[in-house]
C-alpha cells in the first residue's frame, strides 16, 4: 500500500537520488564534490528527484526518435544532462565535466535499479 502513495514514492526517489549522488561522488573521486556536507547531497538529491519527475518525461518524449534509433542509449545522455542541470541549480554540488555527469547518471541509475529490485522483493 505504501508503494502506491505518490508522496512515499517521491520520498523514496529523493532518497535514492541522494544515495546515488553520494555513491557517485565516492566512486568518481574529486570529479564530483559536495564540500563534504551531507545536506548538500540531500538537497541535490531533492533537486534531481524533482527534475526527474517533471522534466525527464518531457525530454524523453521530445527525444524519442534519438532514443529509439540508439536503442535506448540516448537515455544515458539525457541522464547526464539532468545531473548537470541539478549541479547548476545547486551550487554546493560540483561536477567537472559532461562526461563525469554521464558517469554519475549511470551510477545513479544503477543504484535506482538495485534499490527498486530490493523494494520489489520485500
Residue closest to 45 by CA, chosen among 80, 9, 8, 15: 15
- Provide the pLDDT for residue 98: 95
- The pTM score is 0.89
Q: Bigger pLDDT: 2 or 64?
A: 64
SS3 content of the chain, % helix, strand, coil (to 5): 80, 5, 15
Each residue of 26-37: pLDDT tens digit?
Answer: 999 889 988 888
pLDDT recorded at residue 113: 92
pLDDT tens-digit map of 55-113: 999 999 999 999 999 999 999 999 999 999 999 999 899 999 999 999 999 999 999 99
Amino acid at each position: 500500500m505504501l508503494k502506491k502513495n505518490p508522496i512515499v514514492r517521491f520520498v523514496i526517489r529523493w532518497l535514492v537520488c541522494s544515495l546515488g549522488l553520494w555513491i557517485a561522488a565516492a566512486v568518481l573521486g574529486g570529479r564530483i564534490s559536495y564540500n563534504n556536507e551531507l545536506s548538500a547531497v540531500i538537497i541535490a538529491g531533492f533537486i534531481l528527484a524533482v527534475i526527474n519527475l517533471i522534466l525527464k518525461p518531457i525530454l524523453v518524449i521530445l527525444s524519442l526518435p534519438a532514443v529509439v534509433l540508439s536503442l535506448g542509449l540516448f537515455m544515458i545522455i539525457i541522464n547526464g544532462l539532468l545531473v548537470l542541470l541539478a549541479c547548476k541549480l545547486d551550487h554546493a554540488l560540483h561536477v567537472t565535466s559532461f562526461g563525469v555527469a554521464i558517469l554519475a547518471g549511470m551510477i545513479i541509475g544503477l543504484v535506482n535499479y538495485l534499490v527498486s529490485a530490493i523494494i520489489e522483493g520485500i
